[in-house]
């Protein structure tokens, strides 16, 4: 199946999850991540500001702040088609919706890529190797391969977003190291070169 068909199919599946169920399941995702050695060791965590069908990341940010970790969120630079990581102290007062539907930080201090210990990566679908189908704009495809970024990459998703079949990979695709769902933690093993 090609990536566009996967996107269509997954949007349909995600649209059927109720808001109440999404909230409960998002909390389970965040609990699973917070129990991993990678989360416990991380001092700074970059989280995406979730959209309405995604795992809610507010719980994760709160858990990180309670553990005295820094929270970094992506600010999309639309003209450059890139992501700028910025540290925020609040998701309520420092985030607002963009015309695209993405929530953007209103303010925040830019952070060096080398200072990020963990990156939560959004996506519509993943396979057990860590390859993903995103929304198709390529922002994370350009962000993740940067040499200065040495962070552990984790996908946050609902269990049905992990496909049993392999996702078609392209040369620019960078697999995540772990997939955290509401039911399990998957350590990814990408294809050997």
Tell me the average pLDDT of the chain: 89
Residue 100: pLDDT band (50, 70, 90) is low
Neighbours of 57 (CB within 10 A): 24
Question: What pLDDT is recorded for position 189?
Answer: 77
Confidence of residue 80 (pLDDT cuts 50, 70, 90): confident
Q: What is the pLDDT of residues 102-135, one digit of tens each?
A: 667 777 889 999 999 999 999 999 999 999 999 8
Number of helical (H) and strand (E) elements in the chain, helices listed first:
5, 13
Q: What is the pTM of this model?
A: 0.90
User: What are 83's strand-pairing partners?
Assistant: 76
CATH code, residues 3-187: 3.40.50.10420
Whole-number Cα distances in Å, 119 to 92, 116, 129, 143 = 20, 7, 17, 10
Whether residue 136 has pLDDT greater than 50:
yes
Tell me the domain boundaries of the chain: 3-187
The whole-angstrom separation of Cα 179 and Cα 124 is: 12
Give long-range contacts, CB 8 A cutoff, 24+ apart: 73-79: 73/46, 73/47, 73/48, 73/49, 73/105, 73/108, 74/46, 74/48, 74/49, 74/139, 74/143, 75/104, 75/105, 75/108, 76/100, 76/102, 76/104, 76/139
CA-closest candidate to residue 140, choices 101, 82, 187: 82
Q: pLDDT tens, 34-69?
A: 999 999 999 999 999 888 899 999 889 999 999 999
Q: Which two tokens stand for residue 24?
A: 């409960």
Predicted pLDDT at 97 = 52
List the one residue out of 67, 69, 63 whose CA is nearest residue 87.
69
What confidence score (pLDDT) does residue 108 get? 80
């Amino acid at each position: 199946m090609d990536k566009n068909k996967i996107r269509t199919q997954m949007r349909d599946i995600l649209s059927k999850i109720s808001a109440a169920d999404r909230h409960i399941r998002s909390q389970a995702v965040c609990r699973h991540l917070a129990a991993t050695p990678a989360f416990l060791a991380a001092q700074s965590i970059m989280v995406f500001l979730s959209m309405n069908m995604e795992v809610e990341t507010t719980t994760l940010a709160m858990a990180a702040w309670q553990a005295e970790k820094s929270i970094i969120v992506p600010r999309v630079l639309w003209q450059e088609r890139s992501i700028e990581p910025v540290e925020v102290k609040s998701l309520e007062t420092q985030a607002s919706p963009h015309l695209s539907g993405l929530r953007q930080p209103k303010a925040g201090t830019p952070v060096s890529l080398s200072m990020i210990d963990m990156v939560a990566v959004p996506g519509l679908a993943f396979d057990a190797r860590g390859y993903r189908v995103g929304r198709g704009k390529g922002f994370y495809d350009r962000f993740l391969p940067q040499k200065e970024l040495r962070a552990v990459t984790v996908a946050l998703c609902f269990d049905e977003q992990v496909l049993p079949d392999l996702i078609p990979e392209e040369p620019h695709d960078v697999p995540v190291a772990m997939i955290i769902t509401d039911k399990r933690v998957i350590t990814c093993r990408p294809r050997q070169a």
